[in-house]
């Protein structure tokens, strides 16, 4: 509870005094109504100094609250047992290869031309003229000469046909792509009629499958046509059709993608976990871990090599690259899924202190402000030639650095604010604050309560120049966890003298600050769980200078 109760918050002390007076008057009236023969002139004069108590703070400090203030709240991971880990760095798309990264096809073109002969003019005078087929072999223009395409389905693509004839005729040109199908039928299209001058026709080839197993990397097209009986064309007239085939997106690929290397897969992340502890104290993790998980639904085997894994501390200028200390853990073989599989192939590589010679501890002892990594990926490292993918296939790395909260900690800092309004401290004869604190964390707490104005300027503090020491919950050395139902308890009363009460003039806020440490000066190793908490209860008791006199 970050403020007085609804009935009390915002009520000045003088207002409480008047309310108390009204209560007394009502009480006297009630007695008078019950006992008409009561003789007030025989009652001895009494003076009362109103004395009242109010709750101030009822709060719980958990590791989630502390880490949220350290900008790590979204990075917390709590498993089913309640153990807490921090995903120091995580990126489900740390690096990714897409089909478009592996193969790119540039538009390819060919041209059909024909000049009308005298014989063909004479034929057209009495009948239709059949134009014999002409076959074109169209090599695919691929970004990598190692790539072999044996089967290709177009997701997005088109054929632009630009005609420029010197005559007009109601006939047509028919183009058939050999070994190509769409919806199970041979793929062909017509451009009609023949018209004098330039004309463009765009043909959608989405969904067309090219079977190139007999002629890899080569499209074959056959162009033929018919001219209708007419006085046009005449001998010497020209027909021309230029074809440009553009495959923008591949829907399905089979073939060989070559042995390609991608060495620009890198990222740098700012680290904000435990900022205050990194600045003021020490954080030591017993079991820091990282893992790289590759999810591969592209039909291509690969090999991942970690080239850099660098911790960078801006304040000290220190950096440490532990890539060369990962040993065999610097290389991750990634298998290809089967062409009939509906699930991707998944590979994981993990680094711990045990398999890196404590390199993970050294990495985090740098107290990095930034973590940088760079990986190199080689596909088909052994020359595998049975590759495939669909437009939904992907190859991506999930990089995670996990810090189980097991270790020793110094200067984990938490603070919170609560409303506190004391309008007329000069009317206070006596003011005391009572603390009732139960610590379920395996961490010692040094706490202070500051009284501030609305701009958080300090007016006084509860414990003066001292700190409130709250012992940690007793820890079982075999489990590093607090013993069940055992707590560090602090139950103390602080009395403010007259001078200190005057310091509370214009106080608007009460600021609670706690600095948490492992025992043994921050060097005892403990485990932190989600259920552990430091519970705070503060209350205040005040006595007014004004008196309420009866019998007058």
Give the model's confidence band at 368: pLDDT under 50 very low, under 70 low, under 90 confident, else very high.
confident
Predicted TM-score (pTM) of the model is 0.69
> What band does 104 get if pLDDT is binned at 50, 70 and 90?
very high
447: Cβ contacts below 8 Å, ≥ 6 apart: 437, 467, 468, 470, 512, 513, 514, 515
Q: Which residues contact 466 (CB under 8 A, 6 or more apart)?
A: none
State phi, psi for 150 to the nearest 5 degrees. -110, -20
Q: For 515-524, what is the mean pLDDT?
A: 83
The yes-or-no verdict on residue 37 having pLDDT over 60 is no
How many Å apart are CA 492 and CA 447, to the nearest integer? Answer: 13
pLDDT in the model for residue 538: 83
C-alpha 341/C-alpha 390 separation (Å) is: 12
pLDDT value, residue 198: 96
Q: Give me the DSSP letters along 421-469.
A: --S-GGGEEEEEEEEEEEE-SSSEEEEEEEEE-TT--EEEETTTTS-EE
Q: Give the gyration radius of the chain's Cα atoms.
A: 41
pLDDT tier for residue 74 given thresholds of 50, 70 and 90: low
Answer whether residue 275 shows pLDDT above 80. no
Mean pLDDT of 212-239: 96
- 3-state SS of 293-308 is EEEECCECCEEEEEEE
Tokens describing residue 77: 């991971």
pLDDT given for residue 286 in this prediction:
85
Residue, of 398 and 457, whose pLDDT is higher: 457
Question: Is residue 231 over pLDDT 60?
Answer: yes
Most confident of 203-217, 282-296, 451-465: 203-217
Instruction: Flag the least confident range among 70-84, 145-159, 499-513.
Output: 70-84
Structure tokens at 279: 């600045």
Q: pLDDT class for 206, splitting at 50, 70, 90?
A: very high
Q: How far apart are CA 283 and CA 522, in angstroms?
A: 9
Mean pLDDT (the chain, rounded)? 83
Average pLDDT of the segment spanning 250-254: 97
Nearest to 95 by CA among 292, 253, 260, 257: 292
Q: How does pLDDT run across 176-192, given as a tens digit for each residue? A: 999 999 999 999 999 99
| pLDDT value of position 89 | 60
Burial of 100 from C-beta contacts in 10 A (0-12 / 13-18 / 19+):
exposed
Least confident span in 148-157, 284-293, 435-444: 284-293
Distance from C-alpha of 513 to C-alpha of 342, rounded to nearest angstrom: 55
Q: Which residue has the higher pLDDT, 520 or 255?
A: 255
Residue 261 has pLDDT above 70, yes or no: yes
Identify the CA nearest to 522 among candidates 442, 447, 466: 442
Cβ atoms of 337 and 343 within 8 Å: the answer is yes
Among 79-88, 258-267, 282-291, where is mean pLDDT lowest?
A: 79-88
Instruction: Tell me the C-alpha distance between 14 and 299, whole Å.
Output: 80
Residue 155 has pLDDT above 80, yes or no: yes
pLDDT confidence bin for 86, thresholds 50/70/90: low
d(CA 481, CA 484): 9
Q: Which residue did the predictor score with more confidence, 278 or 363?
A: 363
Position 378 scores a pLDDT of 95
Q: Among 48-62, 230-244, 279-293, 531-545, where is mean pLDDT lowest?
A: 48-62
Lowest mean pLDDT among 168-177, 185-194, 487-496: 487-496
Q: Which residue has the higher pLDDT, 312 or 501?
A: 312
Whether the pLDDT of residue 127 is over 90: the answer is yes
3-state helix, strand, coil in the chain (%, to 5): 15, 55, 30
């Amino acid at each position: 509870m970050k403020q007085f109760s609804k009935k009390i918050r915002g009520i000045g002390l003088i207002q409480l005094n008047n309310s108390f007076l009204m209560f007394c008057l009502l009480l006297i009236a009630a007695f008078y109504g019950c006992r008409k023969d009561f003789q007030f002139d025989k009652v001895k004069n009494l003076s009362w100094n109103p004395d009242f108590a109010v709750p101030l703070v009822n709060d719980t400090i958990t590791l989630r609250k502390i880490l949220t203030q350290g900008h790590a709240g979204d990075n917390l991971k709590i498993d089913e047992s309640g153990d807490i880990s921090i995903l120091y760095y995580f990126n489900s798309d740390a690096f990714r290869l897409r089909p478009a990264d592996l193969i790119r096809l540039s538009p390819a073109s060919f041209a059909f031309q024909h000049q009308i002969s005298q014989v063909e003019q004479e034929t057209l005078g009495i009948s239709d003229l059949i134009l014999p087929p002409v076959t074109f072999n169209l090599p695919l223009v691929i970004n990598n000469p190692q790539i072999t395409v044996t089967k290709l389905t177009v997701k997005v693509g088109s054929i632009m046909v630009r005609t420029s004839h010197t005559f007009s005729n109601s006939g047509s040109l028919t183009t058939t792509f050999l070994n190509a199908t769409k919806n199970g039928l041979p793929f062909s299209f017509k451009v009609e009629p023949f018209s004098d001058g330039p004309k463009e026709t765009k043909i959608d080839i989405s969904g067309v499958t090219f079977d190139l197993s007999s002629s890899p990397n080569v499209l074959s097209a056959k162009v033929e046509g018919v001219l209708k009986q007419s006085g046009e064309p005449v001998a010497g007239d020209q027909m021309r059709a230029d074809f440009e085939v553009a495959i923008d997106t591949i829907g399905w690929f089979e073939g060989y993608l070559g042995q390609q290397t991608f060495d620009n897969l890198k990222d740098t992340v700012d680290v904000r976990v435990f900022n205050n502890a990194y600045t003021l104290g020490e954080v030591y993790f017993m079991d820091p871990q990282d893992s790289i998980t590759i999810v591969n639904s592209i039909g291509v085997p690969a090999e991942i090599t970690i080239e850099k894994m660098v911790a960078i501390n801006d304040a000290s200028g220190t950096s440490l690259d532990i890539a060369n200390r990962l040993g065999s853990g610097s290389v991750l073989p990634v298998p290809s899924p089967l062409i009939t599989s509906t699930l991707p192939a998944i590979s994981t590589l993990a680094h711990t202190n045990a398999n890196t010679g404590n390199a993970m501890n050294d990495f985090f002892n740098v107290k990095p402000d930034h973590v940088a990594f760079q990986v190199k990926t080689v596909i088909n490292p052994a020359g595998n030639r049975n590759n495939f993918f669909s437009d939904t296939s992907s190859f991506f790395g999930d990089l995670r650095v996990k810090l189980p909260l097991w270790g020793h900690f110094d200067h984990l800092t938490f603070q919170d604010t609560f409303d506190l309004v004391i309008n007329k401290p000069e009317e206070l004869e006596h003011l005391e604050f009572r603390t009732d604190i139960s610590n379920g964390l395996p961490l010692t707490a040094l706490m202070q309560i500051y009284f501030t104005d609305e701009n958080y300027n300090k007016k006084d503090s509860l414990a003066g120049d001292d700190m409130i020491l709250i012992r940690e919950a007793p820890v079982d050395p075999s489990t590093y966890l607090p013993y069940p139902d055992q707590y560090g308890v602090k139950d103390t009363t602080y009395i403010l003298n007259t001078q200190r009460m005057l310091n509370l003039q214009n106080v608007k806020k009460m600021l609670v600050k706690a600095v948490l440490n492992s025992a043994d000066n921050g060097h005892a190793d403990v485990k932190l769980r989600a259920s552990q908490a430091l519970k705070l209860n503060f209350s205040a008791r005040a006595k007014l200078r004004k008196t309420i006199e009866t019998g007058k």
